[in-house]
Structure 1
Amino acid sequence: MNAPTSPTPEKVPLLTKLAFGSGDVGPAIATAIMSFFLLYFFTDVARLAPAAASVILLVTKTWDAVNDPLIGLLSDRINTRWGRRRPWLLFGAVPFGLAFFLLFQTPQLGDAGKFAYYLVVSLLLDTMFTVVNVPYTALTPELSRDYDERTSLNSYRFAFSIAAGLIAAVTHPIIVDAVAARSDVQTGYAVSALIWAVVCAAPFFFAFWGTYERHTPEEAESLPVLESLKRTVRNRAFRYAAGIYLLSWLVVQTVSTLIVYYLTYWLRRPEITPLVLLAVQGSALIWLFIWNVISRRVGKKGVYFIGMSAWVATSLALFAVQPDWPTWSVIALAALAGVGVAVAYLIPWAMLPDVIELDELETGRRREGAFYGLFVLLQKLGLALGLFAVGQVLSATGYITPPPGATAPITQPDSALLAIRLMMGPVAAVILLAGMVLVARFPITKASHEQTLRELEARRAASEPA
């Protein structure tokens, strides 16, 4: 799609917003299913020890430290007739879907063989996730320079993201249970993975067709790779935005991973899992649009403080919940948590384009790929740290892997149940409060960003031939 040629290019056409939003459907589905069910799949379906499963996740995300920034920098440098970012969506979509399908198979292997299989497939999926997701996220500043329009763009993106994650998270266990009733749970996971693999890959083709890239190849940055990474990390505003995102996403991933364990072993009500996930993700989807409106009045910092305060209160309440509490109270708390989840999705990503503009003013170069590569790394690092921490804590507190053929939740030791509640409640609350401290110190405001844009426009005007 060609970039619009109107005199106000900051405004993005609706079709482009929809196409851009669709590009996050695949990553959102994969992230939602892996966040809520991957560790549970490893421990209770594939029957890996929790400690072994968490090692697979840690090794995979260590590989991220290499491939995320690398793909980001490559997307800054590679120019084609389709642009710098969009070709990655076109050619990475199918391999991404295939790798996702392979992750949820259960090969008949010994413990060492299963460990090797899931490690290799996890590394493959992680690489393909990076190939499609880093260039996609780097499209944001290409579409508009307007402060509020970028918040709108990210609202569309995360509306698609949360809606897709909501549908996947709610229907995945329904599909698994329906197939398992006729076969077994392993086949249920395989069938569900096949369905979602196709759904993950398809939207990238619409995103490729419906978006555009504003910058010309001459604007691509040409710093050496290591120097570019050093400059990115040295950017003070980026460090704050990165810290905010890492802390927010760490809680999102940790709580997402624990929900199934919390409902299954603490409340003894695994059957309400789809309803609870619907409440969380459905609330987050609605609040995305509400926060988008509110942010125009109170700013991104104000939105973060309000939303995360609600989530902190919810975390403490979840620790207090007892198995005999009514189901409606659990669902109500899940919906309240969605208020904060929406902020965790929206605000850090809306901050990052402002950081990139400030960096352009300071360095004279646009380096979206480097910044977004590191940001996606933080997203997956949050996922890895959350899953690794949960796996290690469950192992250390005596979590029991269900025996083959178990059809009802077994009884877990009190130490494991307490660990699950602590990580869902007080631990999550403390991490969220740390993120609020960083938001209070974030150096970019709406006024300072507008001044940055004025200075950039003046610089561009001065460099144009008379």
Structure 2
Amino acid sequence: MHGAAPQGGLLRTRTKALYSFGNVGNQLFRDAPMILLLYYLTSIVGIPPAIAGAAIFVPKVIVGALSDFTVGVVSDRNLHRFARRNWLLVGAVLAPFAMIATFFVPNAAMSTQVGYVVVAFSFYMVTFASFSVPFLAHFSEISSDPQERTVLMAWKHAWTGAGLLLGSALVPWLIHELGADRGAYVTGAALLGGITAISLVTAWNAVRKVQVVTPLERDLSLRGLLATLTFRPFRVLCLSAAAMTVAAGTCSAAMAFFITYNMGRTDALVQLGILVAIAGCVVMAVSPLWVAAAKVLGKRNAYLVGALGHVITLLVWSNAGAGPIWVTYVCSGCVGLFNSGWGLIALSLLTDAMAQARAETGRDTAGSFAAIWSIIEKAGIALGGTLIASSILAIGGFDSAAAKRGIAQSAEAIDAIRYAFGIVPAALMCIAALIIWRCVPARGGAALAH
């Protein structure tokens, strides 16, 4: 159904909550490779970190970018024939198969295993694009009110916490309980795929009767998609997002290593689950507080508080090492608090930019905006979570063969893990905060400065 987008905050709370529930699946697909896959391929399968990182990075960047571009352009061009929300059903069908295939690495020669990972993860990225790009784009189409879009982002970010609990807390615990072998990881992947499908069908059903704007002008192409980067408000957000996602990818990929080697824990997956559960609960609880902070401080300043708080937390945590476990738990809660802030505000500014561009041009290019944003997120996480994290480990002399046999790592390798987990991500987050501070108006609301 098409027509006028809901005006002045007319979406029901139930609609906001259930559509945003789709972000659970989005978060699961985002986090599984970032938190579990590199650790699984190196410490369980036994592939050296540099090779495993490259096997993930290549499909995530190349196939991911092509898929996001394609879905963004096709979904924009075919709004009258195939409603954007219907792409969520496509993703719901493919998600379980893609998730299981990624972790179903055969017992074979390393070259065969690497080839399998590249093919399976390419299918994973195509599946991810089929729902992640339309899901994000549709947020700007179901409401024309800037404050309501901030509330929508708060719901979306709250469900991010639920996704963290399920994908990065419950499933790692389940894998540990099942023996932490290959079969356990495949079982965990099957559960993740099923939850993703449920979340996407729920989101589709929540908005299937919501009216949206479908402009008559649809002259969209690859050139038109790339032209969205000439829209300065969007370009500023993309630059900051690039730095933030590389930071998030590097930190998350190093987390299991940090718990195992720097904290000296033999129950790394259990502790990973506890830490992510703490962060996830905090994210769900504090999202409304960041909506209020954006009203009082302005979106830019609220973003800066969140980003710089995250930086300080990472620096403290990465230097705590094998200190008291309660320090680690407090740091995890602080990560949830500050991540909720900058993440929510960044997405709110993004939907503002989409709506501003639609108002100025008369064209709905939300799919193109979402495609580029998704590419930046996935490429940034891939760069940080595979190439940068694995390169830092390799430079520090991390020995995957020793890890598979349970042999201790060198002091240099442990120090490299500390850099990958805290120091490098903190530096990148400072760059992102600087970009927002310099380029976004202090009281930016519905529109960003040109």
TM-score, structure 2 normalization: 0.92
Q: 2:294 — aligned with what?
A: 295
Residue pair 1:252, 1:341 contacting (<8 A) in 2 also: no
Residue pair 1:22, 1:203 contacting (<8 A) in 2 also: yes
Residue pair 1:141, 1:368 contacting (<8 A) in 2 also: yes
In the alignment, the residues of structure 2 paired with residue 16 and residue 384 of structure 1 have an alpha-carbon distance, to the nearest angstrom, of 32
User: Aligned pair in 2 of structure 1 residues 358, 444: CA closer, same or farther (>3 Å)?
Assistant: farther
- Range with greater deviation from structure 2 (235-244 or 343-352): 343-352
Kindly state the Cα deviation for residue 25 of structure 1 after the two structures are TM-superposed.
Answer: 1.4
Q: 2:427 — aligned with what?
A: 430
Q: 2:87 — aligned with what?
A: 88
Query: Which string of whole-angstrom CA distances, capped at 9 and with x for unpartnered residues, describes residues 72-94 of structure 1?
Result: 1111111356x531111112212
User: Aligned pair in 2 of structure 1 residues 12, 4: CA closer, same or farther (>3 Å)?
Assistant: farther
User: Aligned pair in 2 of structure 1 residues 242, 450: CA closer, same or farther (>3 Å)?
Assistant: closer
Structure 2, unpaired ranges of 5+: none
In the alignment, the residues of structure 2 paired with residue 398 and residue 273 of structure 1 have an alpha-carbon distance, to the nearest angstrom, of 23
Q: 2:246 — aligned with what?
A: 250
Query: Which string of whole-angstrom CA distances, capped at 9 and with x for unpartnered residues, describes residues 30-81 of structure 1?
Result: 2222221111011011211111111112211122222212211111111356
Residue pair 1:77, 1:84 contacting (<8 A) in 2 also: no
Q: 1:260 — aligned with what?
A: 256
Kindly state the Cα deviation for residue 423 of structure 1 after the two structures are TM-superposed.
Answer: 2.3
The residue matched to 1:174 in structure 2 has which SS?
helix
In the alignment, the residues of structure 1 paired with residue 372 and residue 425 of structure 2 have an alpha-carbon distance, to the nearest angstrom, of 23
Q: 1:441 — aligned with what?
A: 438
Q: Which structure: larger Rg?
A: 1
Kindly state the Cα deviation for residue 12 of structure 1 after the two structures are TM-superposed.
Answer: 1.3
Report the count of equivalent residues.
443
Runs of 4+ in 1 over 6 A off after TM superposition: 3-7
Kindly state the Cα deviation for residue 201 of structure 1 after the two structures are TM-superposed.
Answer: 1.0
Q: 1:73 — aligned with what?
A: 73
Counterpart residue type for residue 221 of structure 1:
R
- Range with greater deviation from structure 2 (209-218 or 50-59): 209-218
- Range with greater deviation from structure 2 (14-23 or 255-264): 14-23
Q: 1:226 — aligned with what?
A: 222
RMSD after superposition: 2.3
Residue pair 2:21, 2:199 contacting (<8 A) in 1 also: yes
Q: 2:114 — aligned with what?
A: 115
The residue matched to 1:139 in structure 2 has which SS?
helix
In the alignment, the residues of structure 2 paired with residue 430 and residue 365 of structure 1 have an alpha-carbon distance, to the nearest angstrom, of 38
Structure 1, unpaired ranges of 5+: 453-466
In the alignment, the residues of structure 2 paired with residue 96 and residue 451 of structure 1 have an alpha-carbon distance, to the nearest angstrom, of 36
Q: 1:63 — aligned with what?
A: 63
Counterpart residue type for residue 411 of structure 1:
A
The residue matched to 2:140 in structure 1 has which SS?
helix
Query: Which string of whole-angstrom CA distances, capped at 9 and with x for unpartnered residues, describes residues 264-299 of structure 1?
Result: 011111422222222222222222222122112112
Kindly state the Cα deviation for residue 447 of structure 1 after the two structures are TM-superposed.
Answer: 6.0
In the alignment, the residues of structure 2 paired with residue 344 and residue 137 of structure 1 have an alpha-carbon distance, to the nearest angstrom, of 17
User: Aligned pair in 2 of structure 1 residues 219, 155: CA closer, same or farther (>3 Å)?
Assistant: farther
Query: Which string of whole-angstrom CA distances, capped at 9 and with x for unpartnered residues, describes residues 333-378 of structure 1?
Result: 1211222211242121111121123323443322101000000111
Kindly state the Cα deviation for residue 215 of structure 1 after the two structures are TM-superposed.
Answer: 3.6
In the alignment, the residues of structure 1 paired with residue 305 and residue 6 of structure 2 have an alpha-carbon distance, to the nearest angstrom, of 37
In the alignment, the residues of structure 1 paired with residue 328 and residue 190 of structure 2 have an alpha-carbon distance, to the nearest angstrom, of 31
Within 5 A, what are the aligned runs for 1:130-145? 130-145=129-144
In the alignment, the residues of structure 2 paired with residue 312 and residue 448 of structure 1 have an alpha-carbon distance, to the nearest angstrom, of 25
Counterpart residue type for residue 286 of structure 2:
W
- Structure 1 residue 54 and structure 2 residue 53: aligned? yes
- Range with greater deviation from structure 2 (243-252 or 280-289): 280-289
Instruction: Report sequence identity in percent.
Output: 23
Q: 2:186 — aligned with what?
A: 190
